Amino acid sequence: MTSIPGPDSIVRREFPNGMTVLVRENFSSPSVVIDGMLRAGGVDDPPDQAGLSSFMAACLMRGTERRTFQQIYEEIESIGAAVDVGGGLNTSSFGAKSLAEDLPVVIDILADVLQHPTFPAAEVEKERGEILTDLEECAHDTRRMARLTFRKLLYPAGHPYSRSMEGYPETVQAISRDDLMNFYQSRYGAKGMIVSIVGAVKAEAAFEAWERAFSAWHGADGASLRAPLPPAPQVTEVRRAFAAVPGKTQSDILLGFVGPARAEPDYLDAVLCNTILGVFGLMGRLGQNVRDKLGLAYYSYSGVEGGLGPGPWVIAAGVNPANVERAVEAMRAEVRRIRDKTVGSKELADNKAFVTGSLPLELETNDGVASILLKMELFGLGLDYLECYKDMIYAITPKRIQAAAQKYLDPDHYALAIAGPQ
């Protein structure tokens, strides 16, 4: 890609059935990438059916009115393409990658699996078996167990963000084929669909191909059925839990807070604050001090999620079980430092250069551009977002970073999940 995508190179079109398609032409390689999302996800799972959305999405590629499971994958493999559909927390995703000449084929396959799934009973059971095997593996994975435990601690009981998106063995076992079909019929539809198509295809040709395949689809208006997210207040105490994973030699720690949704005006302030705390270089201040200087962790970093709702802002570390308490104190010390003392000019300049310099790397591939275009539309950022991004980052001051830290991070009130050996 020779330039930052913007209003002059991104073509956007809304269709009568409620779907929005964005296209960016790029003829530097012969491939095309499709990235898309539907307004249904794990937040829509009934509390006693955790994992329903993810299970259903995984079954869409297992058979349609026109193709069996085997026929779907043979057709994809015969042209060396990739097609996938998957569940998510707030949305479900779909996508494809192929040579430009095979774009009609992958669009036809996507249209088939999204509009005409049949949920063959035998294939549903195979998918159930794969999910249950994965959940069994999760129980022996300290990182995944720490993540599950952390979300349950951080969010109020009953909040959709507190549940496992993949579900639990007992909920997955109880989900019937009828449950899958009912979820699909009540939640999946074209209204609110967002699609980005990037690569060696003319915009008008991409729109025409997508319209032929999807313009007649309406389906359900799942977004209108979605209940508003319950409140997710900041933690006002220390919430701590331990998940025992016998036989392990490492403990994984997640310490964190309720962070900003992507729509919050201080989201980019939080992103830059987080970069300083646990991303830049070899994992920021956390990597420098908790891991390198004090030698308390094999790794330590931080991340801010920032989705449609208030996602978590987490500090993670993998440690020797004997070092858990000392590592937690060192992590809290870094939170206290970034709250109490404004960042210096050189450190701020280095981090701004890193954040803005990383963007062109993301835009080097069709996959990267398609993913960013999808987020721009989902969060209503505008077609000029990428062109304005550098100026927005460089406008962030030390005071704004400190304000974000003081708003979201608190070294004395937090959720702390530890998973490892007894």
Instruction: State residue 49's pLDDT score.
Output: 97
Identify whether 277 is part of a domain: yes
**203 and 160, same structural domain?**
yes
Nearest-angstrom CA–CA distance, 308 and 377? 12
Please indicate, yes or no, whether residues 114 and 252 belong to a single structural domain of this protein: no
pTM listed for this prediction: 0.94
* Structure tokens belonging to residue 121: 């009973």
C-alpha 176: how far from chain center: 27
CA angle 192, 194, 196 (to 5 degrees): 170
Give ∠ CA 150-293-329 in degrees, rounded to 5.
Answer: 35
**What one-letter code names the amino acid at 195?**
V
Q: 25 pLDDT band (50/70/90 cuts)? A: very high
Residue percentage of the chain with pLDDT more than 70: 100
Cβ atoms 362, 75 nearer than 8 A: no
Residue 224, judged by CB atoms within 10 A of its CB (0-12, 13-18, 19+), counts as exposed
Same domain? For 21 and 164 the reply is yes
Claim to verify: residue 154 and residue 15 sit in the same structural domain = yes
Split at pLDDT 50, 70, 90, the class of 279 is very high
Q: What is the pLDDT of residue 1?
A: 42
Q: Please report, for residues 256, 339, 379, the alpha-carbon distance to residue 412 in angstroms, rounded to integers and kept in the order given.
A: 11, 12, 32
204 plus 246 within the same structural domain:
no
Domain count, the chain: 2
Let me know if residue 3 belongs to a domain: no
Look at residue 232 and tell me if it is in a domain. Answer: no
Q: Which of the listed residues 225, 260, 276 is the one where a domain comes to its end?
A: 225
Q: Which domain holds residue 174?
A: 11-225
Strand order from edge to edge, sheet including 312-319: 238-244, 414-420, 251-258, 312-319, 299-304
Supply the CATH number for residue 39's domain. Answer: 3.30.830.10
Alpha carbon separation from 325 to 292, 301, 332 (Å, rounded): 17, 17, 11
Distant-in-sequence, close-in-space partners of 274: CB < 8 Å, separation ≥ 6 = 302, 303, 304, 313
Quick one: 57 and 104 in the same domain?
Answer: yes
Average pLDDT of every residue of the chain: 97
Shared domain for 122 and 267, answered yes or no, is no
Q: Does 231 reside within a domain?
A: no
The 10s digit of each residue's pLDDT in 170-202 is: 999 999 999 999 999 999 999 999 999 999 999
200-249 pLDDT, tens per residue?
999 999 999 999 999 999 999 988 888 899 999 999 999 999 999 999 99
Verify that 159 and 94 share a domain, yes or no: yes
What's the confidence (pLDDT) of residue 223? 81
pLDDT digits 0-9 by tens, 312-321: 999 999 999 9
Q: Is residue 5 part of a domain?
A: no
Average pLDDT over residues 345-351: 97
The answer on 368 and 220 residing in a single domain is no
Give the separation between CA 369 and CA 386, rounded to whole angstroms: 10
DSSP-derived pairing of the beta strands 92-99 and 82-86:
antiparallel
pLDDT score for 294: 96
Query: Would 85 be classed as within a structural domain?
Result: yes
What's the mean pLDDT in 11-35?
Answer: 97
Domain assignment present for 4: no
Last residue of a domain, one of 225, 247, 274: 225
* pLDDT band at residue 97 using 50, 70 and 90 as cut-offs: very high
- Check whether residue 190 and residue 313 sit in a common domain: no
Clarify whether residues 162 and 288 are in a common domain: no
Instruction: Give domain status of residue 97, yes or no.
Output: yes
Tell me: do 358 and 328 sit in the same domain: yes
Structural contact between residues 298 and 365, judged by C-beta atoms closer than 8 angstroms? no
